[in-house]
Amino acid sequence: MENKIKKFLINNVVPIFMVIIILLSIPISGLSIEYLIQEIILRLSRNLFLVLSLLIPIIAGMGLNFGIVLGAMAGQIALIFITDWNVVGLQGFFLAVIITLPIAALMGYVGGIVLNRAKGREMITSMILGFFINGVYQLLVLYGMGKVIPIKNEAILLSRGHGIRNAIDLKNIRRALDDGITFNIGQYSIPVLTILAIVLLCLFIVWFRKTKLGQDMRAIGQDIEVSKSSGIAVDRTRILAIVISTILAGIGQLIFLQNIGTMNTYNSHEQIGMFAIAALLIGGATVSKASIPNALSGVVLFHTMFVLAPRAGKELIGSAQIGEYFRVFISYGIIALVLILHQWRREKEKEAERKRILEMNSNQAGGN
């Protein structure tokens, strides 16, 4: 019994820690529960799709895909095009989704090939790959657009005639998906289309896990060598996992930005990977195991803290800035903590396995 409680506490140390922080922050912040609920609904619809895009590479044993920033960049390129072409409303949003698909697929394919050459070090490789592709993206957007790629809309072009401005007003598609169909429950407004997109993605993930490809990914996630011996095309399957994740991240970024309503051309994608990963880990996921409930609870906990931290900081110290430091500190801290815990668990498991084999050997020796 004691062991079970200990195991539960160790497995859920991060969500428990977060729940304690949130429960302490609520009374300090002075925010009403109604306000918090509306904020959580808003942030769930804004962020959950992005967080869910991380699940498939974890199934395939590739860890946390910091490379979702590649998908985010693909989404942003699509947004630049639809803003230039003046395609508005839901049509603009869905056109951006269609433009995102091939760009994100190509980026995912490149990412998958690179990660196949760095087996066992996928997380750091995907992070560095994100930085590298960010450079290519900046080159394309800052020098290519308006020069090589025709852009006619002067409102988004820099005054020199080429390159995209630092911030783009997405008024053409602002809240297009969120306000497409809304449903009111009491004082709370529910963005039906966005929630529907998230539910469809959850159903897709559940269905995907049961398919042949999904089972192959699970097998690869458990043991690459055994999967190879049993005839699974390991490299191809891993590339597909990254391609799917990158495409989903691209769509997730579109959902995120249509909700925000403005796009920071050169920075909007940069923090996406870290915040999405932090949210997933806060929900109790690990590097090797993550589920839809982890993503859901993680987004709720992480973003409740996002809302509470600045107000709690202001009430405690007189500066909302401290809340901002606090949440960035928490994001990086949680990722570091989970990576340490993952390594610690692996060491423990290895040690237990070693003990078990030694006991087996000594029993066999005693029997002889």
Of 31-39, 82-90, 304-312, 356-364, the segment contacting other proteins by CB under 8 A is 82-90
The CA distance from 326 to 329, in Å, is 5
> Which helix (H) or strand (E) is 264 found in, with range?
strand 262-264
Choice between 237 and 291, CB closer to other proteins: 237
- The CA distance from 17 to 57, in Å, is 26
Judged by CB, which is closer to other proteins: 14, or 79? 79
Farthest CA pair distance, the chain: 86
Q: What is the rounded distance in angstroms from the CA atom of residue 53 to the CA atom of residue 71? A: 10
Which residue, 54 or 82, is less far from other proteins as judged by CB?
82
Shortest gap between Cβ of 110 and other proteins (angstroms)?
19
Binder of other proteins out of 16, 98, 226, 357 (CB under 8 A): 98
SS3 state of residue 271: coil
Binding range to other proteins, per CB under 8 A, among 9-17, 40-48, 50-58, 81-89: 81-89
Q: Which is nearer to other proteins, 26 or 95 (CB)?
A: 95
* Residue 92 contacts other proteins per CB under 8 A: yes
Cβ at position 247, least distance to other proteins in Å: 13
Q: How far is the CB of 27 from other proteins (least distance, A)?
A: 47
What x/- string results for residues 271 through 300 when contact with other proteins is judged by CB under 8 A? ------------------------------
Query: Toward other proteins, which CB reaches closer, 83 or 331?
Result: 83
| Closest residue by Cα to residue 137 from 117, 158, 115, 163 | 163
Which C-beta is closer to other proteins: that of 67 or that of 92? 92
Specify the residue for token string 């690990």: 286
Is residue 88 a contact point for other proteins (CB under 8 A)? yes
CB atoms within 10 A of CB 341: 17
Q: Which stretch binds other proteins (CB under 8 A): 58-66, 91-99, 130-138, 263-271?
A: 91-99
Q: Which is nearer to other proteins, 105 or 328 (CB)?
A: 105
- Distance (Å, rounded) from C-alpha 73 to C-alpha 298? 24
Closest distance to other proteins from the beta carbon of 85 (Å): 7
Q: Quote the CA–CA distance of 82 and 76 in Å, as a whole number.
A: 10
Choice from 91, 222, 321, 363 touching other proteins (CB under 8 A)? 91
Residues in contact with other proteins, counted by CB under 8 A, come to a total of: 14
Q: Does 86 bind other proteins (CB under 8 A)?
A: yes
The reply to whether 101 sits near other proteins by the rule CB under 8 A is yes
Judge whether 231 and 39 are in contact, CB under 8 Å: no
Q: Distances from the Cα of 288 to the Cαs of 80, 180, 322, in angstroms?
A: 36, 37, 33
Does 142 bind other proteins (CB under 8 A)? Our answer is no
Determine if residue 233 is left, alpha or beta; phi over 0 gives left, psi from -120 to 50 gives alpha, anything else beta.
Answer: beta
Q: What is the DSSP string of 141-157?
A: IIIIBTTTB----TTTB
Q: Which is nearer to other proteins, 153 or 189 (CB)?
A: 153
Tell me which residue has tokens 């923090």. Answer: 271
Q: At what angle do helices 234-260 and 272-282 cross, to 10 degrees?
A: 100
The answer to whether 250 contacts other proteins (rule: CB under 8 A) is no
Residue 90 is a binding residue for other proteins (CB under 8 A): yes
CA dihedral (297, 14, 39, 289) positive or negative: negative
- Angle subtended by helix axes 272-282 and 321-367, to nearest 10: 60
CB of 258 vs other proteins, minimal distance in Å: 13
- Residue among 36 and 87 whose Cβ is closer to other proteins: 87
Does residue 128 bind other proteins (CB under 8 A)?
no
Task: List the one residue from 17, 94, 204, 266 that touches other proteins (CB under 8 A).
Answer: 94
The span from the CA of 160 to the CA of 341, in Å, is: 51
- 171-190 binders of other proteins (CB under 8 A): 172
Name the pairing type of β-strands 167-169 and 262-264.
antiparallel
Site residues (vs other proteins, CB under 8 A): 85-92, 94-95, 98-99, 101, 172
